[in-house]
Every structure is written in structure tokens, then in C-alpha cells.
């Protein structure tokens, strides 16, 4: 085989999208098609049942096959190029030559060793970087530099102002925060939750107390949350001890939630394994039957609010050349201290 590329198969446009059931069933068909092609390297690779990378479009609809590797002296890579949606596959699975799927509407081409290859993802990640802050011709930034005097009235006024700025800037879900906990073995765990209250007492969120985070916070009652607002190059981290809020606070928030969210809280045994999505959907339907529209949905007994009482609050503001602004305020002995940290 010579030249930059040679067409192996050109099939017709699909009359219907590929489904999960039909996709697996079709795997053997393409193997037979490739095996019949008079190309020794291809046939040799298939006969060895070489592992081939198969790209599968999320949802098993649209484009199925993305690329295959055929390790042979004459071919660096054989790529299956879509003539359909051109969607980038989101998962990879190892399959053998006998399992490669035929999908109508996909063209197969063998690419020579000197063809341009995809860049490794890790190299792309290493090269990813953005400039922080908007500087004018005079080198000044649009927003004032974060400084210690901005916390003269404590951490709460500045945090509220930054949250309002994030809302005005159109940051998606500006109240989203990354919650960090540790389990009984000291292993860290993080997940994104939504802040549902901000006051001088601290940062409030709600959860099922029997969830992973609920049990971890009961075992080690200390947490950290980080608000990250990338579009405005700002971040706030709050650390401190946690406590459950009163039943009155939980009840007030619970009844402000949409009906579907309250039913979902009853349907889900949060963080517990479940056999299928269908079983989860059935649990939601059962909750709806248990609590009809004309019936008040009570607070689930193991569900409620958790308050993080700030012991340390750090404000971060992005700046060029990694010379970011970091101001930390911490409480000790009933008083707060403010200090600048090196970036």
C-alpha cells in the first residue's frame, strides 16, 4: 500500500440512526468486509485479533466509528472518517478485529505513516493557558487590585459583592461551589453543590445526611468550599467546622423547592448503588403516587441543611504572569486577621 490514503469502503447514507442494540449486532459485519479487502497488512492485523480502538458517539446515535489502529509495518493508522455529523466521540472501547462495526454512511481510509497524527491530549492540556484580567494600554486592569483594606468590614461584604458581580457577568450557576470533605480514613472527596444561604454565620447548603458527604461530615465535621468564577477571574475559598441547621431552617427552604425536587429527594437514596436508570425513574413515579399533587410533601427525615462556619476565607484575583492577588482572613481567639499571600 502506498500514497497518503486509499479508500477501502464508501457506504451509503444511513436511513436511520444507529442504536445501542443494532450497533453491537453489526460489529462482525465490518470485520468480514475488512477481511475481504486485498491488503496483507490489514488482513494480518485482523487475523491476529488485534485490539482496535473504537470511538463511540455518546448516546449511540449518529456516528458510531471514529478511528481504528492497525499495527502493521505498512500502516501507521487506519482512520474511520465520518461523512455524517462529524461529532467527536466521547468514549473509547477496546474491541478486536472481528468486532469492528459496519455503519452505513461511514467511509474507511488507510492513512500512510507520514500522515499528520492527532496531538496527544496531555500535550494539549499542558499548553492550555489564558491571560487573567483585562489590561488597558497603560497596563492598568479594569477592576481594582484586591487588597487587604477591602476586608476592613470582614469577609462577608466582599464575598457578597463578588457574588453579585458574578451574577451580573452572567456566570452560569454563580452559587455553585466545590465542597471538600474527608472520610474516616482521611481520604479527600470533592463534589459540586449549590450554596443556598450566605450570612455572617457562614455558608449554607442542603443534602441527604445519609449521602457520602453527609456521613463524611458527621465523621469529620470540617469542610472546605471553593467558588470559582472563571469569566471574572475570581475565586473564594471558605474553610471551617460544620453543623446541621435547625428543623425550622430546613423546613423553610424545603417548601421553597419545586415539587419535582422534593419528590426527587424522597425517590433517591443518595449515594447508594442502584441497578438501572429505569429503577430510579420508577422510584420517582412511586414518590409521585405516594404524595399526590394535593398533598403536602413533608421534609424527608434524613435530609436537611449544613452550615459551614468560616474559620478561614481566602479571596483570589487573577493577574498576568501568575502574579495573582491572594488575600486571606482567618479567625483565632475571636478576632480576625488579614494577610496577603504570595501567588
48 tagged catalytic: no
| Residue 326 assigned ligand-binding role | yes
The residues, ordered by sequence, that sit 6+ positions from 42 with a Cβ below 8 Å of its Cβ are 8, 34, 70, 72, 75, 78, 110
| Residue 192 assigned ligand-binding role | yes
The residues, ordered by sequence, that sit 6+ positions from 166 with a Cβ below 8 Å of its Cβ are 174, 227, 229, 231, 232, 234
Q: How far apart are CA 9 and CA 82, in angstroms?
A: 12
Largest CA-CA distance found in the chain, in angstroms, rounded:
82
Contacts 24+ apart (CB under 8 A), 61-65: 61/17, 61/18, 61/19, 62/17, 62/18, 62/87, 63/87, 63/89, 63/103, 63/106, 64/18, 64/23, 64/101, 64/103, 64/106, 65/30, 65/100, 65/101, 65/103, 65/106
| Residue 90 assigned ligand-binding role | no
| Residue 270 assigned ligand-binding role | yes
Q: How far apart are CA 313 and CA 69, in angstroms?
A: 51
| Residue 253 assigned ligand-binding role | yes
| Residue 213 assigned ligand-binding role | yes
| Residue 103 assigned ligand-binding role | no
| Residue 19 assigned ligand-binding role | no
| Residue 35 assigned ligand-binding role | no
| Residue 195 assigned ligand-binding role | yes
Q: Which of 32, 77, 277, 322 is catalytic?
A: 322
Q: What is the grid cell recorded at 176?
A: 455553585
The residues, ordered by sequence, that sit 6+ positions from 214 with a Cβ below 8 Å of its Cβ are 207, 208, 270, 302, 306
| Residue 15 assigned ligand-binding role | no
Q: What is the grid cell recorded at 69?
A: 489502529
| Residue 196 assigned ligand-binding role | yes
| Residue 189 assigned ligand-binding role | no
| Residue 271 assigned ligand-binding role | yes
Q: In terms of Cα–Cα distance, which of 309, 341, 313 is closest to 151?
A: 313
| Residue 47 assigned ligand-binding role | no
Please check whether residue 108 is in contact with residue 70, taking contact to mean a CB–CB distance below 8 angstroms: no
Name 132's bridge partners: none
Q: In terms of Cα–Cα distance, which of 48, 54, 5 is closest to 30?
A: 54
- Residues known to be catalytic: 322
Which positions make up the binding site for FMN? Answer: 191-196, 206-207, 213, 235, 270-271, 316, 326
Which positions make up the binding site for substrate? Answer: 196, 253, 257, 261, 322-324
Which positions make up the binding site? Answer: 191-196, 206-207, 213, 235, 253, 257, 261, 270-271, 316, 322-324, 326
Amino acid at each position: 500500500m502506498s500514497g497518503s490514503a486509499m479508500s477501502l469502503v464508501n457506504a451509503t447514507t444511513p436511513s436511520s440512526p444507529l442504536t445501542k442494540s443494532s450497533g453491537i449486532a453489526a460489529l462482525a459485519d465490518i470485520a468480514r468486509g475488512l477481511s475481504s479487502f486485498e491488503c496483507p497488512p490489514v488482513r494480518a492485523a485482523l487475523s491476529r485479533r488485534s485490539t482496535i480502538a473504537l470511538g463511540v458517539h455518546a448516546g449511540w446515535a449518529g456516528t458510531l466509528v471514529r478511528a481504528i489502529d492497525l499495527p502493521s509495518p505498512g500502516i501507521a493508522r487506519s482512520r474511520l472518517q465520518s461523512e455524517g455529523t462529524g461529532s467527536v466521540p466521547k468514549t473509547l472501547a477496546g474491541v478486536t478485529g472481528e468486532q469492528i462495526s459496519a455503519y452505513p454512511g461511514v467511509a474507511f481510509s488507510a492513512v500512510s505513516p507520514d500522515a499528520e497524527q492527532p496531538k496527544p491530549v496531555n500535550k494539549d492540556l499542558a499548553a492550555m493557558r489564558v491571560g487573567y484580567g483585562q489590561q488597558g494600554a497603560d497596563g492598568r486592569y479594569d477592576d481594582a487590585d484586591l487588597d487587604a483594606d477591602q476586608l476592613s468590614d470582614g469577609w462577608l461584604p466582599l464575598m457578597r459583592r463578588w457574588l453579585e458581580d458574578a451574577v451580573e457577568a452572567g456566570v452560569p450557576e454563580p452559587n455553585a461551589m466545590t465542597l471538600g470533605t474527608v472520610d474516616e480514613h482521611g481520604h479527600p472527596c470533592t463534589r459540586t453543590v449549590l450554596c443556598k444561604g450566605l450570612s455572617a454565620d457562614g455558608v449554607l447548603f442542603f443534602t441527604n445526611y445519609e449521602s457520602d458527604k453527609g456521613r463524611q461530615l458527621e465523621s469529620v465535621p470540617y469542610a472546605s468550599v471553593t467558588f470559582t468564577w472563571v469569566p471574572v477571574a475570581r475565586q473564594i475559598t471558605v474553610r471551617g467546622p460544620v453543623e446541621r441547621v435547625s428543623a425550622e431552617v430546613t423546613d423553610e427552604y424545603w417548601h421553597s423547592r419545586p415539587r419535582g425536587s422534593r419528590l426527587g429527594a424522597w425517590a433517591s437514596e443518595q449515594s447508594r448503588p442502584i441497578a438501572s436508570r429505569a429503577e430510579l425513574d420508577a422510584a420517582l413515579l412511586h414518590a409521585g403516587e405516594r404524595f399526590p399533587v394535593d398533598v403536602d410533601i413533608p421534609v424527608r427525615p434524613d435530609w436537611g441543611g449544613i452550615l459551614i462556619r468560616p474559620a478561614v476565607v481566602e479571596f483570589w484575583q487573577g493577574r498576568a504572569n501568575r502574579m495573582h492577588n491572594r488575600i486571606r482572613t482567618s479567625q483565632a481567639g475571636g478576632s480576625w486577621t488579614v494577610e496577603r499571600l504570595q501567588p
